[in-house]
Amino acid sequence: MSQLNLIQVFIAFLIFPGLLFALPMGWMMMWLERKSIARMQGRIGPPFFQPFFDFIKLMAKRPIARLQWESNIYTGLALLAVGANLGALTLLPVFLNSSAGVGDLILFVALAEIAPICWILAGFASRSIFGQVGAVREATLTIASNLPFITALLALASAAKSLQMSDLVTQPALPVRLLGLLALLICLPVKLRLNPFSLPNAEQEIYSGAITEFDGARLALWELSHALEWVMLSGLVICLACPWRSTLWWVNILLFGLGCLLMAILLTTFAAATARLKISQASNLFWRWGFGVSLLALIVALIPLGV
């Protein structure tokens, strides 16, 4: 890898769309979620700096004493989830020709799926009935939602005849793009654990689900991972929905940030207007409608190839 590529990776990981951008943006999106739902329910809601204060408060708390191996597993899973989401963020094609290389779509999908796997493992490692129930629900919905999610990305890749993220932005025709984006939008609420797919962390039933037993800095890391998930998944849809890029870097950053905030408001409004589904209802929705839309996108993408 050349020195220039190393500098680009460093900037993407630590500055944009990495830590320095994703942290405040993720906290802002989490605040928008809580504030919007509160206003729709007739409440005042938290101030905009509340997610940041929550993170600092959790980092300062002393965790409950646990066995050394158990403590290491808790910390390792949380750190792995944060690192994977941050790595996936760096692959988003916000700028012109910003892909990391050939096949970076495969790397993006692999990194994006690490955090849910860590969430599931954390639930089973906690030895809590609430954590185990949350882990089972997360696993069930992850399997159900991954089929349309990955199929939609494959449809876009087939239409672009490439596995580069930047080609997915510019190449697919309008019908494939619209169907693929619709399938991805259907998957976003379950991946962000929002209503009507908030079963893995249903506080009225299982407290915080898989992370019920987490506390202190380890819980703060899971909150950080969730904030990065907001930016990563919303940013993916924003990048794919806007096939054009400006030659001015600050314009691309501004539009990307505004798009993420708009996506947070859209998803939160949908969450506030819906009730939580049963696990069977949620799974059936993805197996039938989510996969149906993504499969239609794949068929439309393959038609020009003579398949």
- pLDDT for 120-143, tens place per residue? 999 888 888 888 888 999 999 999
Tokens of 90: 């760096």
CA–CA distance, 136 with 106 (Å, rounded to integer): 26
Q: Is the pLDDT of residue 17 over 90?
A: no
- pLDDT for 223-264, tens place per residue? 999 999 999 999 999 999 988 888 888 899 999 999 999 999
- Find the domain containing 286 and state its range: 3-305
Residues making up the chain, counted from first to last: 307
Would you place residue 306 in the very low, low, confident or very high pLDDT band (cuts 50, 70, 90)?
A: very low
User: What pLDDT shows up at residue 13?
Assistant: 84
Task: Show the DSSP H helices in the chain as ranges.
Answer: 3-14, 19-40, 50-60, 68-90, 104-112, 114-125, 129-160, 165-170, 174-191, 203-206, 216-241, 249-272, 279-285, 291-302
Contact yes or no for 301/158 (Cβ under 8 A): yes
User: What pLDDT shows up at residue 15?
Assistant: 87
User: What pLDDT shows up at residue 99?
Assistant: 58
- pLDDT for 182-223, tens place per residue? 999 999 999 999 889 888 887 777 777 788 888 889 999 999
User: What pLDDT shows up at residue 103?
Assistant: 59
Mean pLDDT of the chain: 88
Q: From 77, 30, 14, 53, select the one nearest 230 (Cα to Cα).
A: 30
CA–CA distance, 257 with 239 (Å, rounded to integer): 11
Contact yes or no for 155/298 (Cβ under 8 A): yes
Q: Is the pLDDT of residue 167 over 80?
A: yes
Contact yes or no for 153/169 (Cβ under 8 A): no
Q: From 294, 301, 169, 163, select the one nearest 238 (Cα to Cα).
A: 169
Domain count within the chain: 1
Q: From 203, 211, 209, 191, select the one nearest 144 (Cα to Cα).
A: 191
Other CB atoms within 10 Å distance of the CB of residue 257: 20
User: What pLDDT shows up at residue 304?
Assistant: 59
